[in-house]
């Protein structure tokens, strides 16, 4: 069986593991990597050491290099004891570092970039055949990633790319250099993929792009994103639609109207602020100012009063004064974010900001970062306290809270994406991941809500097609018939390593 993809020299099926770092785009790319490997005959590893370990990397943070090379170093000795084991590195850091990876870690077998994910099985097989490392980095997109096989992380929800790449020139960001100029998919292709996901049991999709609200510029329709959201509203069986991430400079009122008027588009918005200082926004080449940002939030809340809004903020950008930082604190106070993903500025070689004067000392950045997170933690707790007594619909997730073994609570996401841990009264059959439950919020913390129904009547469970798909996937993974099912469903979930954008304390 040598030379057959996915098979060892002895003919045994080879296993794989994907370790993912970074944003939702990387998580979705890892689903494609898993799908490609399974299509090539590999199987997901369980407890044993995988025959193939793939690192899907991120290059946004300064410590990305150290994290990758530290992990590769730990695997070097593992590989020596595991004959035939292969290691592959892909993603943004691979696109940036290229042959540096093989120089620093010569035991790596394959390096591929952001534009040629589909080449991975061939690179692995070529490395086995030639007994030497394979490096393939393309400068532009080879095949649109959404045409590749995909193994989804969850049967009840899915990511759908509407575009890849970015046309913005933010001075702190290396993504455009690594993922290229924006390329848009045609609406018909996107809607067909969503319909296929729904046919497989998904009831939620998240539309992905580096800048979703510039979608359509490539084919001459600046209103295309709002039209796409409305078109999602006509897909039978699709109950929840989300998207990430928009750019404040290009965010238009037709998108707000589409969100408010399309029932399955969720009242939740991730709107990256980055800084509340107009001077810093100018240095970042973020082509909006704080007044425009706050105006967007006002218009969103006028149409959707209960919408939750999250954001990204960078602390310590070069040249940031105490007055600039105070401006950020002021905008955060006014914005009342449900969640904020806060980052200390990370100097990335190859970005214009890396060469700017007045880099901020680490101690100053750390002190400001702590003040910002303390402010946002207070606001998040206050905003969550307003949810007490509200009745919310949750989609049950497979992920559980850290204290689930003690509290015996399940977890779900509300329509506004808030995390809710809920208990199931005695005598009630627990809902499955993908099912929908309606509960009343009884406790609130900064990073989650709690719902403890007082009796069976206080918990309403709507068993869904997505829950049925979960049952089928679990049955398939165990090799037993699905309860009450007929046709086989999609494959079960696969661990993708690090979760995307973890929320502290959830």
Residues annotated within the binding site for [4Fe-4S] cluster are: 23, 58, 92, 166, 170, 173
User: What are the C-alpha distances in Å from 449 to residues 3, 391, 420, 494?
Assistant: 53, 12, 5, 27
Which DSSP string do the residues of 114-180 spell out, in sequence order?
TT-GGGHHHHHHHHHHHTS-EEE--SS-SS-GGGS----S-SSEEEEESEES-----TT--HHHHH-
Q: ω into residue 233 within 30 of 0, thus cis?
A: no
Q: CA 161 to CA 159: how far, in whole Å?
A: 7
Rounded to whole angstroms, the Cα distance separating 56 from 496 reads 9
Contact 415, 266 (CB under 8 A): yes
The tokens for 189 are 């292709």
- Neighbour order of strands in the sheet with 240-244: 157-161, 204-208, 240-244
Q: How many CB atoms lie within 10 A of CB 62?
A: 13
User: Residues forming the annotated binding site?
Assistant: 23, 58, 92, 166, 170, 173
Specify the 3-state DSSP secondary structure of 32.
helix
Q: How many residues does the chain have?
A: 506
Report the run of H or E that residue 241 belongs to, with start and end: strand 240-244
Cα–Cα distance list, 498 to 2, 22, 27, 45 (Å): 33, 8, 9, 16
Q: Burial level of 298, CB count in 10 A (0-12/13-18/19+)?
A: exposed
Phi, psi angle pair for 19, to nearest 5°:
-110, 120
């Amino acid at each position: 069986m040598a030379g057959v993809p996915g098979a060892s020299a002895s003919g045994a099926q080879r296993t794989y593991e994907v370790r993912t770092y970074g944003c939702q785009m990387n998580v979705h790319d890892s689903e494609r990597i898993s799908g490609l490997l399974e299509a090539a005959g590999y199987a997901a590893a369980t407890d044993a050491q995988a025959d193939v370990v793939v690192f899907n990397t991120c290059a946004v943070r300064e410590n990305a290099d150290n994290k990758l090379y530290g992990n590769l170093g730990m695997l070097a000795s593992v590989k020596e004891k595991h004959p035939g084991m292969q290691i592959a590195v892909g993603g943004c850091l691979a696109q940036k570092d290229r042959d540096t990876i093989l120089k620093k870690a010569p035991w790596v077998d394959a390096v591929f970039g952001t534009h040629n994910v589909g080449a991975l099985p061939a690179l692995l097989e070529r490395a086995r055949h030639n007994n030497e490392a394979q490096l393939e980095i393309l400068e532009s997109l080879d095949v649109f990633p959404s045409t590749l096989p995909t193994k989804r992380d969850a049967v009840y929800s899915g990511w759908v790319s509407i575009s890849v790449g970015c046309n913005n020139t933010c001075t702190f960001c290396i993504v455009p250099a690594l993922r290229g100029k924006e390329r848009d998919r045609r609406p018909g292709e996107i809607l067909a993929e969503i319909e296929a996901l729904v046919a497989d049991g998904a009831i939620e999709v998240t539309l992905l792009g580096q800048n979703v609200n510039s979608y359509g510029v490539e084919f001459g329709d600046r209103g295309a994103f709002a039209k796409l959201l409305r078109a999602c509203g006509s897909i039978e069986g699709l109950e929840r639609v989300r998207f990430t991430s928009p750019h404040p400079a290009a965010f238009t009122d037709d998108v707000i109207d589409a969100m408010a008027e399309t029932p399955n588009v969720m009242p939740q918005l991730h709107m990256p602020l980055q800084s509340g200082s107009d001077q810093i926004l100018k240095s970042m080449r973020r082509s909006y100012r704080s007044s425009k940002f706050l105006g967007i939030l006002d218009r969103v809340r006028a149409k959707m009063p209960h919408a939750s809004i999250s954001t990204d903020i960078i602390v310590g950008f070069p040249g940031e004064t105490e007055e600039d930082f105070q401006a950020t604190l002021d905008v955060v106070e006014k914005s009342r974010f449900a969640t904020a993903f806060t980052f200390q500025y990370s100097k990335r070689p190859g970005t214009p900001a890396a060469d700017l004067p007045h880099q901020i000392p680490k101690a100053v950045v750390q002190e400001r970062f702590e003040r910002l997170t303390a402010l946002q933690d207070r606001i998040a707790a206050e905003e969550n306290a307003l949810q007490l007594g509200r009745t919310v619909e949750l989609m049950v997730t497979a992920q559980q809270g850290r204290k689930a073994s003690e509290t015996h609570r399940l977890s779900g996401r509300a329509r506004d994406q808030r995390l809710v841990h809920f208990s199931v009264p005695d005598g009630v059959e627990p809902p499955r991941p993908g099912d929908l439950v309606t509960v009343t919020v009884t406790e609130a913390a900064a990073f989650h809500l709690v719902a403890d129904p007082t009796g069976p009547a206080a918990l309403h469970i709507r068993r869904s097609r997505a829950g049925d798909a979960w049952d089928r996937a679990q049955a398939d993974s165990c090799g037993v018939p699905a309860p009450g099912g007929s046709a086989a469903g999609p494959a079960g979930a696969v661990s993708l390593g690090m979760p995307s954008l973890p929320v502290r304390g959830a």
